[in-house]
């Protein structure tokens, strides 16, 4: 058994971890250090390398180079020891459709070596916590998407893992189910080390202690949500709601203010120094009818746009 992590406050440590698929570099030399009990979010667009990173940490993918340790156990040299203390709720809903919720939880608990009584007790708690108790005896293929997702998270918790990986836990859920899932994840904060991947800004912002913004396989920013937003706090964001906004007008404005984002019914302009009058005068000269202008708080999307020049949802 390896124990290479000297600082016992650290749950997950990666050193220059990379993964290539042929010529494509999915993850490019990531260094991470995640503390015990921390809820850490990997935030990035689809294809950024979030799931690949998680899979390497869960011993499902071999890194092309670099190393990773979970609670001091090397993921390559000692995968069984790593698997004893982790669990994963994959991006796709990973449940046995023909079994009921009890049986799904029992399956996961028992393959992790827990006895029947212990699994039953844990399952009762988890079904209660996830609001699935009343339908626990139904085949789970009859569940709604939100219920399946909550069961999927419960299945990752039944083994009482020290480190929990949640890969896009609310992907494809309606806003109400998403909120409900967030509440359940919030209940786990501080009790377990949680690594969550998401491309939802609000999710990372409201849940995570720290966020790593990942793009094209690289970590491009790392810090608490507040720190990340503060990193561009010297920036101003102006929202212009307007009719008849033309591409010509936007492109003309972009020559003065390169960071312009099109939003519903208008544009957002970000810069260190914004001259409101200049913007309004320019748009009017292009015969744009302005409905309103306002100043906006910096969001993580602004941070991502600032760092990469593109929107997170692109």
Partner 1 sequence: MRFLALAQRNFKEMFLDYLSLGLAMGLPIALLLILSPISKVEVMFSPANLAPGITLFAFVMLQFSSSMILAKDRDSALLSRLLTAPLKPKDFISAYSLPYIPVAIIQTALIFGIAALLGLETSGNLGLVFLVLFIMSLGYIGLGMVAGSRLTYKQVPYAYTAVLLLTIFGGAWFDLEVFGSGFQSVMNLLPFAHALDATRDVMVQGAGFSDVAVDFYWVMGYTIVFFALGIFLFRRKMVE
- Nearest approach in angstroms of CB 240 to partner 1 is 43
When the beta carbons of 59 and 237 are compared against partner 1, the nearer one is 59
When the beta carbons of 9 and 116 are compared against partner 1, the nearer one is 116
Contact positions vs partner 1 (CB under 8 A): 55, 58-62, 79-80, 83-84, 86-96, 98-99, 103, 106-108, 110-113, 155-156, 159
- Nearest approach in angstroms of CB 65 to partner 1 is 15
Distances (CA, A) of 99 to 61, 82, 121, 133, 169: 28, 27, 19, 15, 21
When the beta carbons of 154 and 201 are compared against partner 1, the nearer one is 154
When the beta carbons of 119 and 201 are compared against partner 1, the nearer one is 119
When the beta carbons of 114 and 304 are compared against partner 1, the nearer one is 114
Tokens of 61: 């993918």
CB 104 within 8 A of CB 143: no
- Nearest approach in angstroms of CB 113 to partner 1 is 6
β-bridge pairing 24-35 and 10-21 = antiparallel
When the beta carbons of 161 and 217 are compared against partner 1, the nearer one is 161
- Nearest approach in angstroms of CB 109 to partner 1 is 8
- Could you identify the residue written with the tokens 């042929």? 22
Q: How far apart are CA 242 and CA 207, in angstroms?
A: 34
Tokens of 118: 């212990």
Neighbouring residues of 297: CB distance < 8 A, sequence distance ≥ 6: 237
- Nearest approach in angstroms of CB 205 to partner 1 is 27
- Nearest approach in angstroms of CB 31 to partner 1 is 22
Neighbouring residues of 27: CB distance < 8 A, sequence distance ≥ 6: 17, 18, 19, 49, 52, 53, 56, 63, 217
Q: How many CB atoms lie within 10 A of CB 74?
A: 19
């Amino acid at each position: 058994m390896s124990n290479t992590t000297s600082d016992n406050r650290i749950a997950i440590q990666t050193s220059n971890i990379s993964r290539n698929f042929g010529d494509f570099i999915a993850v490019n030399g990531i260094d991470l250090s995640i503390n015990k009990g921390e809820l850490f979010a990997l935030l990035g667009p689809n294809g950024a390398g979030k799931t690949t990173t998680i899979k390497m940490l869960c011993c499902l993918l071999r890194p092309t180079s670099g190393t990773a340790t979970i609670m001091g156990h090397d993921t390559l040299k000692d995968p069984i020891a790593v698997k004893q203390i982790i669990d994963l709720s994959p991006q796709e809903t990973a449940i046995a459709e023909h079994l009921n919720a009890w049986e799904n939880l029992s399956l996961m608990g028992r393959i992790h070596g827990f006895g029947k009584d212990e699994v039953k007790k844990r399952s009762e708690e988890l079904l209660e916590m996830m609001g699935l108790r009343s339908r626990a005896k139904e085949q789970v293929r009859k569940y709604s998407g939100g219920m399946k997702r909550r069961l999927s998270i419960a299945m990752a918790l039944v083994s009482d893992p020290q480190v929990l990986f949640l890969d896009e836990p609310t992907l494809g859920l309606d806003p109400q189910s998403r909120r409900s899932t967030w509440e359940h994840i919030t209940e786990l904060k501080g009790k377990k080390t949680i690594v969550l991947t998401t491309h939802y800004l609000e999710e990372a912002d409201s849940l995570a202690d720290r966020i790593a913004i990942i793009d094209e396989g690289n970590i491009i920013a790392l810090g608490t949500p507040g720190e990340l937003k503060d990193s561009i706090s010297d920036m101003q964001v102006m929202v212009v709601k307007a009719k008849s906004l033309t591409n010509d007008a936007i492109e003309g404005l972009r020559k003065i203010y390169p960071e312009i984002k099109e939003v519903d019914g208008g544009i957002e302009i970000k810069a260190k120094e914004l001259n409101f009058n200049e913007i309004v005068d320019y748009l009017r000269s292009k015969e744009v009818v302005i409905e309103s202008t306002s100043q906006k708080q910096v969001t993580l999307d602004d941070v991502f746009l600032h760092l990469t020049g593109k929107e997170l949802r692109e």
